Chain A
Amino acid sequence: MATATATEMQPAKRALGGRLKPWPYYVKRFFLYIIMLVLSAIFMVPLAWMLSTSLKTQGQVFANPPIWIPRPIMWQNYIEVLSVAPILRWLSNTFIVTVSATLGTLVSSSMVGFGFARLRFPGRGFLFGLLLATMMLPGIVTMIPTFILFKTINWLDTFLPLIVPSYFGGGAYNIFLVRQFYLTIPTDFDDAARIDGANNWTIWLRIMLPLNAPVLTAIGIFSFVGHWNEFMGPLIYLFSEEKKTLALGLRAFVDPYLASYHLNMAAAFYLTLPMIIIFFFGQRYFLKGVVMTGITGR
């Protein structure tokens, strides 16, 4: 597979435009499409199986050979599972946590990023190096004392431990991204504003933030996905049933003793669907955002 790539990159570009090629080219293309289709199918099977099972009657769940398109389609499963566990409550908890934390990430990463990109102060290089170093720090060393800190200030079983840290920097990765983006904006913008009497706050709010919209959208999406999927944090900090996030609550649905497989899959789909939706609307930003992080490799 790898061998085909390098040479094919170019003829392919021309081929889409038209004009016939020698036949081995079409054979290669044919195999390329076959490989892509097979791989796509393999990658999509678990999600398709989740969706398919979630729409089956209990009787069809264990059918062998497997049934892919359920008949009848049991949309009711999605209502029925709501009576098994407080899924809507967990869903709204997850929304509250995710949106609040994402907001914090956006505000604080863009602010800190501006400081590192645009303002000169003693120790900036050292502090920025420190920031980059924390990207490689495994979260596991800080977990226990952080838990003790939140326990001491009585924040256990509240959303605060999951939200508040986002307002303090919003993650080294995001700060780095914002800074890199600010660096691409010519300083003439700042100078012009400064001559007009703007201070740093005005420059940040009125000039930099609007120009920064694409990178902030990407960060917002990543932060949303990250907080939505988070498991370890809620596991440690939330105990009572009505405080749980959806990811934590669905822990009880892994083993099907609580409900049957079709209801388990419906529950899992409640957790997955928002990610699928956000991907389809924000696809452009996902790819761009990751590409921007790719800079880190250089």
Chain B
Amino acid sequence: MATVTRVPQAGMLAKAAGKRRRSKLAIREAIDGYIFIFPWLLGFILWTAGPMLASLWLAFTRWNLFMPPEWVGLENIRQLFADRFVGISLWNTAYYTFLSVPLGIIASLILALLCVQEMYGRAWFRTFFYMPSLTPAVASAIVWFWILNPEVGLANMVLKAIGLPPSQWIWSAKTSKATFVLMSLWGAGGNRMIIFLAGLQNIPQSLYEAAQIDGANAWAQFWHVTMPMLSPVMLFNVVMGIIGSFQVFTGAFLMTAGGPANSTLFTVLYLYRLAFEQFNMGYASSLAWLLFFIILGFTIIQLRLAETWVYYEGG
């Protein structure tokens, strides 16, 4: 639109005519552009922006779905700080996240470093590593529930066979969270490994050759060539990993229902209960926003810290 009004000031008539035709085309193109992105735009309003505003409002109400919502001001927020289950669930979630994300990333990186080697059967090994991440969460809950059974499960049979004491796994408050971390590591060969693999394959061989000429050993090459070149991919994996694992839900919902002794009551599980079992929509929304701000905070901190350790080529 702006271009059209500016045209007369351009001066020469011929030029103006040409511009007008072009701007007509430009308007046409802009209209088509909006039509093409319209599905997303509408979806964004209906399923992202709208719901976010709605849940922000809900966070200040009390609503059980049956009676009209009632504005309670900061009552929900006060309750968030008084509710001991909020504290427990955040602690559990943080515990899980800060173990599973670093360990998972190290595991994925090691698998990627192995898979990048030239060797026979490489595609098969990669397939074996990748397969677990494709297993539906419910199917893996079913099989892990069986493997981890303290009396008859495979896991304790193996421990016994190699002379280690059996564990109570998810049935003891002491080991339950660590067991969930262990189960999350089973998926370390998934998309995260493939992203690392792609990152590794993008590193030019010439850098390693140069490092070798300078006398760098394998260890030095890893820290001074591989890691800096991989750091943008690393940042992506860390950010997405933290966002994902702060929302851990399905495994605990299916296998432990938050127990034993609330040791696997993760925040999203508690939120699910508040919203869909107790129909406490207002309070659940305020908990959702609390979790959102925590995740947002971690994301921002990481993007800030990234400036100190992520190496962008040519940047």
Q: Which residues of A contact B (CB under 8 A)?
A: 1-10, 12-13, 15-16, 29, 32-33, 35-36, 39-40, 43-47, 49-50, 53, 62, 64-66, 108, 111-112, 114-116, 119-122, 124, 127, 130-131, 134, 136-149, 151, 165, 167-169, 175, 199-201, 204, 225, 228-229, 231-232, 236, 247-248, 250-251, 253-256, 261, 264-265, 267-269, 271-272, 275-276, 279, 283, 286-287, 290-291, 293-294, 296-298
Name the B residues within 8 Å of A36 (CB-CB): 114, 119, 121, 125
Closest chain A residue to B282, Cβ basis: A144
User: Known interface pairs A136-B239, A138-B246, A297-B195. Does A120 touch B292 (Cβ–Cβ under 8 Å)?
Assistant: no
B304 to chain A, nearest CB (A): 14
B31 to chain A, nearest CB (A): 8
Contact of A134 among B48, B118, B161 (CB under 8 A): B48
CB neighbors of A among B229-267 (8 A): 232-237, 239, 243, 246-247, 249-250, 254-255
A43 x B189 contact (CB < 8 A): yes
Q: Pick the most buried of B246, B255, B275: most chain A CB atoms within 10 A of its CB.
A: B275
Q: From DSSP, what is the main secondary structure of chain B's interface residues?
A: helix
A164 to chain B, nearest CB (A): 9
Question: What mask results when residues 140 to 177 of chain B are scored 1 for a CB within 8 Å of chain A, else 0?
Answer: 11111111000010100100010000000000000000
A294 x B233 contact (CB < 8 A): yes
> CA A77 – CA B204 in complex, angstroms?
53
Contact of B47 among A35, A116, A142, A294 (CB under 8 A): A142
A119 x B36 contact (CB < 8 A): yes
Closest chain A residue to B57, Cβ basis: A145
Name the A residues within 8 Å of B109 (CB-CB): 2
Q: Pick the most buried of B126, B142, B157, B218: most chain A CB atoms within 10 A of its CB.
A: B142
Q: List 25 A-B contacts (CB under 8 A).
A: A5-B114, A6-B221, A12-B119, A36-B121, A39-B114, A39-B125, A40-B125, A43-B128, A46-B132, A47-B132, A62-B152, A120-B26, A120-B33, A136-B243, A136-B299, A141-B288, A142-B52, A145-B285, A229-B137, A231-B138, A231-B250, A253-B142, A254-B254, A268-B138, A297-B234
B268 at the A/B interface (Cβ < 8 Å)?
Answer: yes
A165 x B43 contact (CB < 8 A): yes
B32 x A131 contact (CB < 8 A): no
B46 at the A/B interface (Cβ < 8 Å)?
Answer: yes
> CA A231 – CA B237 in complex, angstroms?
23
Question: What mask results when residues 285 to 312 of chain B are scored 1 for a CB within 8 Å of chain A, else 0?
Answer: 1001101100100010000000000001
> CA A167 – CA B120 in complex, angstroms?
43
Question: What mask results when residues 34 to 47 of chain B are scored 1 for a CB within 8 Å of chain A, else 0?
Answer: 11110111111011
Contact of A39 among B111, B142, B191, B276 (CB under 8 A): B111
A254 x B275 contact (CB < 8 A): no
> CA A122 – CA B181 in complex, angstroms?
47
B139 x A1 contact (CB < 8 A): no
Number of A-B contacts (CB under 8 A): 310
Size bracket of the B interface? 35 or more
Contact of B199 among A134, A140, A261, A294 (CB under 8 A): A294
B39 x A47 contact (CB < 8 A): no
Q: Pick the most buried of B124, B130, B198, B219: most chain A CB atoms within 10 A of its CB.
A: B198
B140 x A141 contact (CB < 8 A): no
> CA A108 – CA B42 in complex, angstroms?
12
Q: From DSSP, what is the main secondary structure of chain A's interface residues?
A: helix
Question: What mask results when residues 56 to 76 of chain B are scored 1 for a CB within 8 Å of chain A, else 0?
Answer: 001000000100000000000
B139 x A272 contact (CB < 8 A): yes
> CA A148 – CA B143 in complex, angstroms?
34
B44 x A5 contact (CB < 8 A): no
B176 to chain A, nearest CB (A): 15
B117 x A8 contact (CB < 8 A): yes
A121 x B147 contact (CB < 8 A): no
Closest chain B residue to A291, Cβ basis: B198
> CA A267 – CA B249 in complex, angstroms?
22
B11 at the A/B interface (Cβ < 8 Å)?
Answer: no
A134 to chain B, nearest CB (A): 6
Name the B residues within 8 Å of A298 (CB-CB): 232-233, 312
B221 x A7 contact (CB < 8 A): yes
Closest chain A residue to B135, Cβ basis: A272
User: Known interface pairs A46-B143, A115-B37, A254-B145. Does A272 touch B194 (Cβ–Cβ under 8 Å)?
Assistant: no
Name the A residues within 8 Å of B255 (CB-CB): 254
B184 at the A/B interface (Cβ < 8 Å)?
Answer: no
Q: Pick the most buried of A116, A139, A168: most chain B CB atoms within 10 A of its CB.
A: A168
A232 x B142 contact (CB < 8 A): no
Contact of B39 among A10, A35, A169, A255 (CB under 8 A): A169
Contact of A138 among B26, B119, B120, B291 (CB under 8 A): B291
A247 x B137 contact (CB < 8 A): yes
Closest chain A residue to B235, Cβ basis: A297
